Structure 1
Amino acid sequence: MAGALFAVAAAFAAAPAHAQDMQSAPSFVDNFSSFDRSRWYVSDGWNNGNHQNCTWSKDLVRLSDGVLSLSFEKRKLKDREFACAEIQTKQRFGYGVYEARMKTDTGSGLNAAFFTYIGPQDKKPWDEIDFEVLTKDPSKVQVNSYIQGKPKNGKLVDVEGGADKGFNDYGFVWEKDRLRWYVNGKLVNEVTNPDELPTNPQKIFFSLWGSDKLTNWMGAFADPGRKVTMQVKRIAFTALGQPCQFPESLACTITNSN
């Protein structure tokens, strides 16, 4: 549920997926030595709906010493009392290995997410693949996907040592017939049901946001009284069949389907 909650998603639910739709942008590794504006769009001045208690602000996306920071703070912005941060790729990516190295903060009612998403605003069905650290409990991360706007495969898995105590590696391998999630190189969830696999290329997102409405899921929101930050050291996409791009990459060790 890291992607936007669009009521019009149902209007696109019946749209067929075609093989040519899976054309993907090329492999890349971004270590955030600089901020590549040809790759990234920074969300600014809007929000994802009534469930979100903050407005995206470009001011809360910062880069320093090879670490990208996305923050959440109390600052009235438009009709919200808080400001939050999100970036997304301008290109769409298909089957391959997706990997992020990141560290989260803590706080009830907040969501620190690394995910892929496409939806009605791009004239596509809502497909999504998620890692979501609900920072009320940073000892775990939620993995899940959305297929044509419907949640699938949700599972809470342990993050050894805690998502907030150090940088951890989150990755998923998306193939035509299989979807696998990994935390620090360990397989934590796998799906092979064709009805529960995304079929549309997606953009890559990082976001940190809050809600005072989704309490059953994210916990009761509490003003943290400080700036809360998630940090990202690396993001990579390796297309299926392409060589692994750095020694620690999942693409160096996993076996992909043909």
Structure 2
Amino acid sequence: MQSSDKTDEKRWLGRFSNIDAITGLCVLAVFLFGIAAAFSSKDTRNLTVVADVPIYYPVAPPEAAPAPSDAADKLAPEAAPQPAPAPDQPQAKQLANSSPAFISLLGDDRLEASYYLSQSKAPRDFYGGRWAPENIESTANGTTFSVKKEGNTDVPFSIAEASTYKRYGYGRYEAIMQIGKGSGLVSAFFTYTGPYFGDPHDEVDIEFLGKDTTKIHFNYWRNGKRGKFATFDLPFDASEGPHLYAFEWLPDRITWYVDGVPYYASELNDPFIPKTAGKVHFSHWTGIPKMREWHGKPDFGTEAVTTVSCSSFTPMGEDKRSCSDVYKEKKNS
């Protein structure tokens, strides 16, 4: 009886040994299959090395975090770390017609040397006033862009806009601006090209509404189609002093900055990222009555001013003097 028990015991132990061996082989096979599948996947974004300081989107300043506005345009992309380019990825090419780096200290530099001043005799499109070159002036603090009441029923307002003669592509765009305050006003810093120039409508924007200058708006367009725009609260009132605003437009992503802090970015490889070099624009305007639901009824007195004291462009992959340097120098002084 005892001998039989020992035989059964050996038999059961042998079975468990076989089961353990089979289980181990199964686990090893699954592990090897997972590795093979990962490396054979066409989408290798999850395998790339994350940058030393990963950026998550939307991005908020560490101290006073801007929350997305309660407005209808709360379309921030889901949070995702920004991957670094793969080592074997070819360097992205600059867009055709893109010009070299520049920096303009507006107020000191003669604006007309680099910028075209928009001009019209009457309101057109969705703009509620005539473009008036005389509403752009150089001052000790920078170049002012004024919106004025005209007292004319047909032309109730005069508005201001300047755009570069040259076109610019991938790189970092910066401006130091103090925004005009008052319901009905729109201040904008953006790149644009479109059918007027024989191009698709491509655009990257930073916009402010004078009715609430504690908010900032980010937009982008490709071939007339709008990407995922967003509105953020600022930790300051943009009408009370100059601040540094910027966006970095790259082939696979656009990132927007306020005072050097990243606030928002498009999704990686978003199909709405522009692909055509455009002109740099600054504008200050009020719209036709249909636009008042967005920017408010004009109620800013007889004149309101947006001031731009610096504008710069640094091409992708280059390191040039920019408005960031000017802003730091002014703060330090």
- TM-score where L is the length of structure 2: 0.65
Aligned counterpart, 1:64: 139
1:242 and 2:322 correspond: no
Q: What is the match of residue 103 of structure 2?
A: 29
Q: 1:26-175 counterparts in 2 under 5 A?
A: 26-32=100-106, 33-46=108-121, 49-75=124-150, 79-175=154-250
Letter of the structure 2 residue corresponding to residue 198 of structure 1: P
**In the alignment, what sits opposite 1:256?**
none
Residues 60-69 or 185-194, more deviating: 185-194
Going from structure 1 to structure 2, the CA distance change for 1:68 and 1:247 (only over 3 Å counts) comes to closer
Task: Name whichever of 54-63 and 75-84 sits farther off.
Answer: 75-84
Alignment of structure 1 residues 153-232 onto 2, 5 Å: 153-191=228-266, 192-211=268-287, 212-219=289-296, 221-232=297-308
- Contact 1:130–1:143 (Cα < 8 Å) also in 2: yes
CA contact (8 A) 2:146 2:160 kept: yes
Query: Aligned pair in 2 of structure 1 residues 48, 189: CA closer, same or farther (>3 Å)?
Result: farther
Output the aligned Cα RMSD: 2.2
| Larger RCO of the pair (alpha carbons < 8 Å, separation 6+) | 1
Moved more, 196-205 or 104-113: 104-113
Deviations 1:162-207 (A, max 9, x none): 1101111110001111110111111111112331200000000000
Asked if 2 retains the 8 angstrom alpha-carbon contact of 1:181 and 1:187, the reply is yes
Residue 23 of structure 1: how far off its partner (Å): 3.4
Q: Give the conservation status (yes or no) of the 8 Å contact 1:34–1:66.
A: no
CA shift in 2, pair 1:64/1:248, >3 Å: same
Structure 1: distance between partners of 2:175 and 2:123? 23
Q: State, as a whole percentage, how many aligned pairs show the same letter.
A: 31
CA distance in 1, matches of 2:275, 2:122: 26
Residue 153 of structure 1: CA displacement?
2.1
Partner SS, residue 121 of structure 1 = helix
Can you list the C-alpha shifts for 1:214-237, whole angstroms capped at 9, x where unaligned? 133212x22422210000110000
Q: Name the structure with the higher strand share.
A: 1
SS in 2 for 1:230: strand
| Larger helix share, 1 or 2 | 2
Over 3 Å counting, the alpha-carbon distance change for 1:206 and 1:246 in structure 2 is: closer
Q: CA, structure 1 residues 30+44, in 2 after alignment: closer, same or farther (shift >3 Å)?
A: same
Shift of 1:244: 3.0
Runs of 4+ that moved beyond 6 A: none
Q: Is the 8 A contact 1:22 1:199 kept in 2?
A: no
Larger Rg, first or second structure (1 or 2) = 2
* 1:241, distance to aligned residue in structure 2 (A): 1.7
Once residues 240 and 68 of structure 1 are traced to their aligned partners in structure 2, the CA distance between those partners, rounded to angstroms, is: 27
Q: Deviations over 1:112-149 (max 9, x none)?
A: 11111000000000011001001110001101111111
Q: 1:48 to 1:151 in 2, by over 3 A?
A: farther
CA-CA distance at 1:47 after TM superposition: 6.2
Write the distance in 1 (CA, Å) between the matches of 2:151 and 2:218: 31
Q: Which runs of 5+ in 1 are unaligned?
A: 1-18, 253-258
CA distance, structure 2, for counterparts of residue 229 and residue 247 of structure 1: 21
